Amino acid sequence: MEKLAVVALGGNALLRDNEEGTIEQQELNATETVENLIHLIKDGYELVITHGNGPQVGNILMRNDAGEKMYQIAPMPLDICVADSQGGIGYMIERIVRNVLNKYGIRKNVITMVTLVEVDKNDPAFKNPSKRIGKTYTKKEAERLSQEKNWIFKSSSKVKDGYQRVVPSPAPIEIINKETIELLVNNGNIVIAAGGGGIPVYYDEEGNVRTLDAVIDKDRASGLLAKNICADELYILTDVSFIYKDYGLPTQEKLEFLNYADTMKYLDAGTFAEGTMEPKIRACLDFIKSGGKKSVITEAKQLEDKSYGSKITMEYD
């Protein structure tokens, strides 16, 4: 094996903001993204692919709500909804990866793994739920659900006078399936894992696996997975080609080559947008600090040019 890379697919890899979200649209977007991964495979990389699930798990929660109201179907808890999204999205990506490999005459096995991720049940995030999930409700609906289900709501970030359920987003501690993932990828298989950040779980006093109503940031989980399986490189694919200082402001500046120390200074100064670029930067820094050789943040279509995108290393190359 020449190099091992974890590649995190951003939300736009499957679903674009202006799209309805049909399976045809998602498959087309996924195919365009996977086509670009061929450049890494041809260069001798073994791959673990991770992905987001934000829109999809939101839709699953909406089906939960509709099924309970209209047909008295028992709603499933959040961990089952995350697992559902991992299986469905992973299957779609796996099938498309297989077809793209076939197109280029590359023979490799591909496997999707529903992935559990350990978190601390006492993580401070549980006292401050902040991750918006699911549909947008009116104030009256939010108040009713808050009383009936003890859900917590905050104002919607997209709909005026709307409210969305918020859940904790604890930091990932360990990828529970890491040994199996590492064994599979080291034997030449492409592995799709840690979808949507993984299913958050914890161990109780007897060592049993227990669930929590929470979601894990996909990029932080991807960085941890890269660390756990001793990957050489971490790629976070998003909708911008580079990291920018003061993105969208008159002082905007492209940051193409970064070392660990300078990136930490930018992060501490609040240079990167919270909730969008900031968790990606943290994931890259955690990976580099743990011994990773290089992290890259860029668009999928730029993978053909290995000099493209923003690159973070411990020291400047």
Burial readout 81-110 (b: 16 or more C-beta within 10 A, e: otherwise): bbbbbbebbbebbbebbeebbeeeeeeeeb
Let me know if 59 is a catalytic residue: no
Is 58 labeled as catalytic in the residue annotation? Answer: no
For residue 78, the surrounding DSSP H or E stretch is: helix 78-103
**Catalytic (active site) residue 178:** no
Distance CA 5, CA 13 (A): 18
Q: Which of 90, 178, 195, 218 is catalytic?
A: 218
Cα separation, 168 vs 43, in Å, equals 39
Do 200 and 78 form a contact (C-beta atoms < 8 A)? no
Quote the CA–CA distance of 301 and 179 in Å, as a whole number: 31
φ, ψ for residue 300 (rounded to 5)? -60, -40
Q: Cα-flanking dihedrals φ and ψ of residue 305, to 5°?
A: -100, 105
Sign of CA dihedral 246, 132, 156, 135: positive
Cβ 175 vs Cβ 198: under 8 Å: yes
Question: Which one of 280, 292, 294, 309 is the catalytic residue?
Answer: 280
Which residues touch 62 (CB under 8 Å, ≥6 apart)?
134, 135
User: What's the burial of 7, exposed, middle or buried (CB within 10 Å: 0-12/13-18/19+)?
Assistant: buried
Q: Which of 10, 54, 131, 294 is catalytic?
A: 131
Q: Given 3, 12, 87, 301, which residue is catalytic?
A: 12
What angle in degrees, to the nearest 10, is found between the helix axes of 78-103 and 54-71? Answer: 130
The two tokens of residue 317 are 């190359």
- Told to judge if 158 belongs to the known catalytic residues of this protein, a careful annotator would answer no
Residue 311 phi, psi (nearest 5): -120, 130
Residue 218's nearest CA partner among 128, 86, 95, 313 is 86
Indicate which residue of 11, 52, 134, 309 is catalytic.
11
Active site residue 103: no
Active site residues: 11-12, 131, 218, 280
